[in-house]
Amino acid sequence: MKMRTRIWLISLLMLSTAEVAIAEPPKRGEAPSMRNSIVQEQQGVKVSNQQAAGNVRQEFPGSKILSVKMMGSGGPPVYKIKTLSGSGVVKFVYVDGTSGEVFE
């Protein structure tokens, strides 16, 4: 096999496995992945990422949810949610992972 072909195949393999390793919040109507559920249970999370996004939608009607991420370990579970307001302003809001409380 030529060197270019080997490099191309290795690159393709690395890209395909990298996509699997990235944890994304489930899309509307999908269940959270088993991996996300296990990690959330270990961190004491009682509110799912879907519930956190729903709480933000209730608190800020008309805003779109751009991303939902669980903040790093070492403290209480908190979701960092990126939103886009109806007027085009991007801002981050936070949701307590145990109570579901929304704060800025």
Total domains present in the chain: 1
| pLDDT tens column, 2-22 | 666 667 666 666 655 444 444
| pLDDT tens column, 85-102 | 999 999 999 999 999 999
Angle, CA 41 vertex, CA 54 and CA 98 arms, to 5°: 45
| CATH number of residue 85's parent domain | 3.10.450.40
CA-based nearest residue to 47, from 96, 104, 102, 103: 96
Q: What is the pTM of this model?
A: 0.60
* 69, 17 contact by CB (below 8 A): no
Domain that includes residue 82, residue range: 3-103
User: What is the SS3 assignment for 37-74?
Assistant: HHHHHHCCCCCCHHHHHHHHHHHCCCCEEEEEEECCCC
